[in-house]
Amino acid sequence: MIPENIFRANDIRGIFGKDLNQEIVELMGKAFGTFLSENKTVVIGRDGRSSGKILRDALVTGLVSTGCNAIDIGIVTTSTLYFSVPTLKADAGIMITASHNPKEWNGFKLCDNNGLIYHGNTIQKLKEIIEKNEFRKSQTSGEIKNYEKIFEDYSNYVLQKIATNRKLKIVVDAGNGTATLVAPSLFEKLGYEVIKINEELSGEFPGRGPDPTKENVLGELKETVKRERADLGVAYDGDGDRVVFVDDLGREINSGSIIIMIFAKDILQKEKNRKIVFDCCSSLVVEDFIRANGGIPVVERVGHSFIIQRMQKENAVFAGEYSNHFYFPEIPGFDDAIFGSLRLAEILSKGNEKFSQIVDSVPKYFYKADWVFECPDERKFGIIEKLKEKMKLDGYNISELDGVKVFFDDGWVIWRASNTRPMILAFLEAKTEERFNELQKFAEKELLSVMN
């Protein structure tokens, strides 16, 4: 039996040895090969987790049994995997990673020939193929090749799109993840002085763990930035697709909303009346800020696939999520934390303002994100539906775009089921501290009333 909970909105993800083992992963490889059809070529990459090589071998065994070919690009960042598929003229790609999840987790992100991820119905289609045992049988196995120059290709591509106007001192915290293989060298090639911490690649993540947005994990980065009088600190997650910044005062800028506004202002100075997409958990300020700077704000639900689809539909020039994912249409796959950090450094290098001054110039309300309520995967969506009905019956003004969001004149609350973990997340924002405290009590009370 395949565990139901591993098939998620945007990827396949679970705990190695419990939800994922070699037998299950080989079936996934066969299912993806069946879905693609014979003689297709799939690029395979993985992050540095200890289980990655085992899962890679099982995945490729299943894949080539259907007549598909595999190109193994080794240990890479997720954005490099997305980049590799159109670059190598492949038909699809698979990144073996659990991204920011703890070290015992692993999983699979699947993408098409443009480096854009498969999600939703495709993930469920693979599940159906496995359950029905409807695998393609091929007369001959596919070929397996290695390609070892993908970081060189990626670096050459990215460096053409970034300018440097003055030298900066940057502290890079790779978190023992795959960003260490490419991010420091790119900053150095651009002429910046780079100080590296947690630079050893390790699937055990001994430095701080793979999630840079978790509370109290960036102490070393903040202290190093202050001690070295650096202009910028950068921290990546386990597979290099999420980034958190530290300013020159050693303050952690973990609100994606602030960075969205900084990017938006820079882009809209050159391109007025263009659309910028952001998710429904971002700050109220973002929408007003984009309009004030001559842009057109577009709100979308949380999630890589939803954001990218909306970007394409709206021909948007940029997108961002509260969770520190940033999307650039000039990059294959769009979602690229490495490129995002290079772009932020470029913005800083163009002027004489310190990062802290730019951050302080951006408007802010009282905001809380990713407030975690543990909840089994099999219950979390049902609880959100119960809460949605309760809010309707109680007469609140709500949005059902993603989970349930309740609007007030001076703030909002949203509850949504996590796409990647067994939990419900709450978010809230208010214009005053007093109202913020009131909405915290409201958010917890209303959720617990339908959970218990």
**Residues designated as active site:** 13, 99, 325
Taking a C-beta distance cutoff of 8 angstroms, is the pair 262, 362 a contact? yes
Rounded Cα gap, residues 217 and 423, in angstroms: 21
In the block, which residue shows the tokens 């951006």? 362
CA distance 349 to 344: 9
From CA 171, how far away is CA 222, in angstroms rounded? 9
Distance between CA atoms of 337 and 325, rounded to whole angstroms? 7
Residues 6+ apart with CB under 8 A from 382: none
Give CA–CA dist 415/8, Å, rounded: 18
* Cα–Cα dist 71/143, whole Å: 8
For the stretch 253-263, what's the b/e string if a residue is b when 16 or more beta carbons lie within 10 angstroms of its beta carbon?
bbbbbbbbbbb
248, 225 contact by CB (below 8 A):
yes
State the residue for tokens 């903040």.
222
Residue 318, beta-bridge partner list: 276
Q: At what angle do helices 121-132 and 22-36 cross, to 10 degrees?
A: 110
> Buried (b) or exposed (e) across 67-96, using 16+ Cβ within 10 A?
bbbbbbbbbbbbbbbbbbbbbbebbbbbbb
Write the DSSP symbol of residue 401.
S
C-alpha span between 297 and 317 (Å, rounded): 11
Work out the burial of residue 223: count CB atoms within 10 Å of its CB; fewer than 13 is exposed, 13-18 middle, 19 or more buried: middle
Q: SS3 string of 142-200?
A: CCEEECCCHHHHHHHHHHCCCCCCCCCEEEEECCCCHHHHCHHHHHHHCCCEEEEECCC
Q: Give the closest residue to 240 by CA, choosing from 168, 164, 312, 158.
A: 158
List strands edge to edge, sheet with 326-327.
296-300, 275-279, 318-320, 326-327
